[in-house]
A and B are shown apart, each in its own frame.
Chain A
Amino acid sequence: MTLLSIQNLTVEYPGRKATFTAVRDVTLTLERGEILGLVGESGAGKSTIGTAIMGLLDRPGHVAGGRILLDGTDTTSIPDLLGARVSMIFQDPLTSLNPLYTVGQQLVETLRTHHRLTPPEARGKAVDLLDQVGIREPETRVDQYPHQFSGGMRQRVVIALALCSDPDLIIADEPTTALDVSVQAQILDLLCNLVKERGVGVILVTHDMGVIAQTADRVAVMYHGEVVEEGPTQQIIHAPRHAYTQSLLAAVPRGDRKLDRFPSLSYAPIGADVQTAPDLSLTSTWLRSKAPDVGTGASTKPLLSVKGLGIRFLTKNAILPRNRRYVDAVKGVTFDIARGEVLGLVGESGSGKSTVARMIAGIHPPDTGQILFDGQDIAARQGSHDRQALRRQIQMIFQDPFSSLNPRMRVRDIVAEPIHHNRLAGSGAETQKIVGDLLTIVGLGAAAGDRFPHEFSGGQRQRISIARALATRPRFLICDEPTSALDVSIQAQILNLLKDLRDALDLTVLFISHDLPVVRQMCDRVAVMQKGQICELSETERLFETPQNAYTQELIDLMPSLGPA
Chain B
Amino acid sequence: MIRFLLERLLQAALLLLVVAFLAFVMFRFAGDPVAQMVSIDTTMEDRTALREALGLNDPLPTQFAQFVMRALHGDFGLSYQLGRPVAALLADRLPASIELSLIAFGLALLVGIPMGVYAGLKPESWLSRAFLIFSLAGISLPTFFIGIMLILIFGVELGAFPTFGRGDTVDLGWWTTGLLTPSGWHSIILPACTLGLFQMTFIMRLVRAEILEVMRSDYIKFARARGISKTRIHYGHALKNTLVPVMTIAGLQLGSIIAFGIVTESVFQWPGIGLLFIQAISTVDIPVMSAYLLLVALIFVSINLLVDLLYFLVDPRLRMSSK
Contacts and interface: CB of A to CB of B under 8 A. Distances in A.
B226 A110 contact: yes
A100 B315 contact: yes
Nearest to A315: B321
A181 interface: no
Nearest to A105: B236
A82 B219 contact: no
B317 A56 contact: no
A42 interface: no
Contacts of B218: 90, 92, 95-96
Given A95-B217, A95-B219, A98-B219, A87 B316 contact: no
A158 interface: yes
B: interface residue count bin: 20 to 34
A413 interface: no
A241 interface: no
Interface in A111-144: 113-114
Contact of B223 (A80, A87, A98): A98
B302 interface: no
A99 B317 contact: yes
Contact of A165 (B227, B232, B236, B320): B227
Nearest to B244: A100
Contact of A83 (B217, B228, B320): B228
Interface string A38-79: 000000000000000010100000000000000000000000
Most chain A beta-carbon contacts within 10 A, residue among B222, B229, B237, B315: B222
A99 B320 CA distance: 12
Contacts of A109: 228, 232, 236
B218 to A, nearest CB: 4
Given A96-B219, A100-B241, A158-B222, A145 B227 contact: no
B57 to A, nearest CB: 41
Interface in A150-172: 158, 161-162, 164-165
A162 B317 contact: no
Contact of A82 (B217, B227, B236, B314): B227
Given A98-B237, A100-B315, A80 B222 contact: no
Nearest to B224: A56
Most chain B beta-carbon contacts within 10 A, residue among A84, A101, A148: A101
A97 B222 contact: yes
A147 B229 contact: no
B219 A145 contact: no
A88 interface: yes
A521 B231 CA distance: 52
A113 B314 contact: no
* SS of A interface (majority): loop
B227 A161 contact: no
A80 B227 contact: yes
A154 to B, nearest CB: 11
B70 interface: no
A166 to B, nearest CB: 12
Contacts of A84: 227
Contacts of A147: 316-317, 320
Interface string B283-296: 00000000000000
B92 to A, nearest CB: 43
B217 A87 contact: no
Contact of A162 (B226, B241, B315, B320): B226
A75 to B, nearest CB: 13
Interface in B188-224: 217-219, 221-224
A113 B227 contact: yes
Nearest to A59: B124
Nearest to A95: B218
B240 interface: yes
Nearest to B226: A83
A96 B222 contact: yes
Contacts of B316: 99-100, 102, 145, 147
B319 to A, nearest CB: 9
A101 B315 CA distance: 9
A87 to B, nearest CB: 7
Contact of B320 (A82, A88, A110, A145): A145
A144 to B, nearest CB: 9
Interface in A329-367: none
A95 B219 CA distance: 6
A56 B225 contact: yes
A178 B42 CA distance: 84
B274 to A, nearest CB: 38
A99 B315 contact: yes
Interface string B177-189: 0000000000000
Contacts of B225: 54, 56, 82-83, 87-88, 90
Contacts of A102: 316
Contacts of B217: 95
A217 B232 CA distance: 38
Contacts of B226: 82-83, 87-88, 110, 113, 161-162, 164-165
Interface string A184-205: 0000000000000000000000
A97 B223 CA distance: 8
A56 B224 CA distance: 8
Nearest to B229: A113
Given A82-B227, A95-B217, A98-B241, A145 B222 contact: no
Contacts of B223: 98
A99 B244 CA distance: 12
Interface in B226-261: 226-229, 232, 236-237, 240-241
B219 A97 contact: yes
Contacts of A101: 237
Nearest to B322: A316
A110 B225 CA distance: 10
B311 to A, nearest CB: 11
Contacts of B222: 88, 90, 96-97, 158, 161
A92 B232 CA distance: 23
A87 B229 CA distance: 15
Nearest to A99: B317
Nearest to A80: B227
Contacts of A114: 227
A83 B317 CA distance: 28
Contact of B240 (A95, A100, A161): A100
B229 A56 contact: no
A377 to B, nearest CB: 37
A98 B216 CA distance: 13
A53 to B, nearest CB: 11
A82 B224 contact: yes
A82 B317 CA distance: 30
Contacts of B227: 80-84, 110, 113-114, 165
Contacts of B219: 95-99
Interface string B100-144: 000000000000000000000000000000000000000000000
B186 to A, nearest CB: 41
Most chain A beta-carbon contacts within 10 A, residue among B226, B240, B315: B226
Contacts of B317: 99, 145, 147
A113 B224 CA distance: 12
Nearest to A114: B227
Nearest to B238: A98
A307 B236 CA distance: 53
Contacts of A54: 225
Contacts of A158: 222
B246 to A, nearest CB: 14
A319 to B, nearest CB: 9
B221 A113 contact: no
* A-B interface, 7 closest residue pairs, ranked by CB to CB distance from nearest: A83-B227, A95-B218, A82-B227, A88-B225, A83-B226, A145-B316, A96-B222
Interface of B: 217-219, 221-229, 232, 236-237, 240-241, 314-317, 320
5 contacts: A90-B222, A98-B223, A101-B237, A102-B316, A113-B227
Given A110-B228, A147-B317, 4 more contacts: A82-B226, A88-B222, A110-B226, A161-B226
